[in-house]
Structure 1
């Protein structure tokens, strides 16, 4: 077996970050030092991934098959995992200073989860893929419910319930994926991804069942319908920064695992069916949501459907799916960051009424949330989201899947309704007398009857225009780079 130590530098940096955080908390026991160690480790992980690059030869090779495979997709996803980890840490700083969770445990679990994400991107066999996915997911069971106290007893109870729900569903999904891997190995005798085939002779039916179970098991991780029920209550019960991580990094891990399977095995029928169900149910149910985190949760389910639509193409759709997933993760994280900034420290996501007029009171934060909604909806000036959707639709049409491209376009139109409603609520007038406000402290100052909207709207347009210029053509550039 040959091992190229340079090729696995991103893994060394990520796992070293977890060890460094653990030692910093043990030896120094200062919150700032512990959080600084995680931030520096996340940056180091991204730098190592970029420095090593995606063209280096694979390593951990035996018999011509390798378990660690650098690629452009692996580099992009490792940088994204590291960036999301540092971003979630930044969102969590106020709550950690308040003491809602022990900083040492929080940072160590977050670093461990980042390590799992890096492993997924570089995995060359089913064993490392599933181990990486579980390393990404296991710390999140604890992070969802990790808090010393909560502002309200209801939130604390919801956190425990969300943690248990997430744990049980993830254990079931892992068992299904492992059974699928075992059946596929029994039929093909292969665990390396490049040697996976659909089976032959009497073993063909066993291999097909194994493929279906692998897709179903990984579909749990992306909250694909009908395997989605855990996501909205888990996001709602988790601390807001952790909900952001679940909706982005955790879902990205599931997308990478699915991409590794469907790009090599024939799973078009089941993936297309999951895509149609996921985007349709996610958008329709999101129309009825009146709580912000649940709206974002159902929105992320619908967005996962668009990713699955590209993955239904198999190998030709992987680049389009990854491009869409990357920009969806960025926009989703921006939306959660804006929600965190608009809420009191350590509070839950709140009712939609709590955000009424928030764009008037906090123009820049409201503008960021509007821009995120525009990008997720695929509306100008959120051109990154629009071009990412066009990338998926274009890939489907090129491969002769026009009907699925039509379903994607129809669902994108349905999604406009709740994104526009949520964005308009940010600039709505003050609540009328007699309407009960869920969080009165958030609406302090919102009742001014003559508060002008000109400056907030102008600020929103400036921010949106600047982001459109910077990110507008980024999906096509990333698609070209990955190709």
Structure 2
């Protein structure tokens, strides 16, 4: 066991060094630590491994992510916290509660499926990617993403956000010599850095008015802020939300999404669509519901407006893709992910209108339930897109015509995934998740937002059903059987099993909508 020196003092006169000593709960921090350590080990091992054995690095990364997932199991017996202030056991920098474990499961599970997709993408016959660097960046980003939902102070929150983001920039542009990949990485980097700078300015405002970075202490002290400091705090709240709104691809911070998804290697696009969103939404929840519940009158309406704009712009953008020449399936999934982000924002906005803490946390549970559904089926859709992309470089929607003739099971699974995203049977889990979000909005008095969501669900039906119907049409030429490598087969099978299991037993995740997570 090791000890750390932390500082705390009354708000008025705070000395720089008042030591408190405490132990580190290594079991609680194991999931992100394992991912980080394996990432470093893979990077070093890459120096000594022959080119013909680079696949071992991929399987090592898969094993490391699986081990990180298993490290969550001992934490299920109760909440654990570490890096806490002596004398204040509720004031901690790292907490492994139910919310943390669910998001870490989604993050590490999404990273594991991304690693399976990447096994074949590293050598696609067109441009070989550097294996050691790729796996190190993926595992480092996953470690930061797993750290973020456990963060309970703004400093750790920002560090985790950057650890998750910086490797992602490099992953997007890792195709050396590819102009489209470089442009996507540059756009992603510049817009993310700008959003982060704005968030840091907001955090500095919040710290200036409360004198603390711990979320629970901010929640207590911010209620006593008045006068001109109240305006400063409100400004800080809005600015802090910008960085996390960027990660969720909320409008107007969504403009990087289509080009980035298309320019990045397809597994990286899948990773950003699920793990990137998990990072953004968990950060939004912690800043709003945990740290600033007393400022719900500021962030509640703002998030409601963002939700309405995001789902509308995302679905209309996806609908317009059919009028473009390169009707790209990946670009369609990119716009679809923007629309889905709008649905995910609805319960967080509803938490701002809740009458008490329990109702607010139940609203957050609805977002978590929807996010789990979205993660499973969206990764499944990307997995099938990776399969089609092996024979069709442009991965256009027309390349999916007649997929049922060449690969019946794959076509059925993709159709199922799309119906889940649309909220239609047999995608029962997608339907129930959307109904849960509708219910939360109505209960919070946001009837107008529920109407906007209903209209957007109808708009989304058109392009989801159009894609689904295309799978079962007669192919234009002779049906070409798709050879599916073992890692890709495993990724498609895992997402299919999870999606079907959740549709058969939706209570497995919908119960989060009825219970408090913190």
- Kindly provide the CA deviation profile for residues 153-206 of structure 1, in whole angstroms up to 9, marking residues without a partner as x: xxx211111111111111111101111111111112221111224443321100
Structure 1 counterpart of 2:484: none
Judging changes above 3 Å, is the alpha-carbon distance between structure 1 residues 463 and 129 closer, same or farther for their aligned structure 2 residues?
A: closer
Structure 1 residue 349, shift from structure 2 partner:
5.1
Structure 2 counterpart of 1:280: 312
Deviates more, 1:29-38 or 1:299-308: 29-38
Structure 2 counterpart of 1:417: 462
Question: Is 1:311 aligned with 2:358?
Answer: no
> Contact 2:388 / 2:395 at 8 angstroms: preserved in 1?
no
Structure 1 counterpart of 2:356: none
Structure 2 counterpart of 1:62: 85
Structure 2 counterpart of 1:439: none
Counterpart Cα distance in 1 of 2:266 and 2:108: 19
> Contact 1:396 / 1:402 at 8 angstroms: preserved in 2?
yes
- Kindly provide the CA deviation profile for residues 129-149 of structure 1, in whole angstroms up to 9, marking residues without a partner as x: 111111111111111121257
Structure 2 counterpart of 1:32: 55
Structure 1 residue 90, shift from structure 2 partner:
1.1
Structure 2 counterpart of 1:220: 246
Deviates more, 1:138-147 or 1:6-15: 6-15
Counterpart Cα distance in 2 of 1:466 and 1:17: 32
Counterpart Cα distance in 1 of 2:411 and 2:452: 31
Structure 2 counterpart of 1:392: 437
Structure 1 residue 43, shift from structure 2 partner:
0.8
> Contact 2:315 / 2:459 at 8 angstroms: preserved in 1?
yes
Structure 2 counterpart of 1:17: 38
**Helix, strand or coil for the counterpart of 1:66?**
strand
Question: Is 1:193 aligned with 2:225?
Answer: no
Structure 1 residue 295, shift from structure 2 partner:
0.8
> Contact 1:221 / 1:251 at 8 angstroms: preserved in 2?
yes
Structure 1 residue 478, shift from structure 2 partner:
3.9
Question: Is 1:112 aligned with 2:175?
Answer: no
Structure 2 counterpart of 1:301: 338
Question: Is 1:380 aligned with 2:417?
Answer: no
> Contact 1:282 / 1:302 at 8 angstroms: preserved in 2?
yes
Counterpart Cα distance in 1 of 2:97 and 2:76: 7
TM-score by length of 1: 0.88
Question: Is 1:429 aligned with 2:461?
Answer: no
Unaligned runs of 5+ in 1: 150-155, 432-442, 448-461
Judging changes above 3 Å, is the alpha-carbon distance between structure 1 residues 173 and 349 closer, same or farther for their aligned structure 2 residues?
A: farther
**Helix, strand or coil for the counterpart of 2:84?**
strand
Q: 2:374 aligns with which of 307, 328, 331?
A: 328
> Contact 1:262 / 1:312 at 8 angstroms: preserved in 2?
no
Counterpart Cα distance in 2 of 1:468 and 1:82: 19
Q: 1:259 aligns with which of 268, 285, 296?
A: 285
- Kindly provide the CA deviation profile for residues 394-422 of structure 1, in whole angstroms up to 9, marking residues without a partner as x: 22222222222222222112211110011
- Kindly provide the CA deviation profile for residues 66-89 of structure 1, in whole angstroms up to 9, marking residues without a partner as x: 000111121122122222112111
Structure 2 counterpart of 1:203: 229
Judging changes above 3 Å, is the alpha-carbon distance between structure 1 residues 39 and 430 closer, same or farther for their aligned structure 2 residues?
A: closer
Counterpart Cα distance in 2 of 1:216 and 1:19: 31
Structure 1 residue 359, shift from structure 2 partner:
2.4
Judging changes above 3 Å, is the alpha-carbon distance between structure 1 residues 280 and 4 closer, same or farther for their aligned structure 2 residues?
A: same
Counterpart Cα distance in 2 of 1:263 and 1:335: 32
Structure 1 residue 428, shift from structure 2 partner:
2.1
Judging changes above 3 Å, is the alpha-carbon distance between structure 1 residues 301 and 12 closer, same or farther for their aligned structure 2 residues?
A: same
Deviates more, 1:289-298 or 1:96-105: 96-105
Counterpart Cα distance in 2 of 1:93 and 1:167: 25
Question: Is 1:159 aligned with 2:181?
Answer: yes
Structure 1 residue 291, shift from structure 2 partner:
1.5
Question: Is 1:368 aligned with 2:433?
Answer: no
Unaligned runs of 5+ in 2: 1-20, 322-326, 352-359, 482-495
Aligned-CA RMSD value: 2.2
> Contact 1:387 / 1:475 at 8 angstroms: preserved in 2?
no
> Contact 1:54 / 1:74 at 8 angstroms: preserved in 2?
no
**Helix, strand or coil for the counterpart of 2:426?**
coil
Counterpart Cα distance in 2 of 1:308 and 1:421: 26
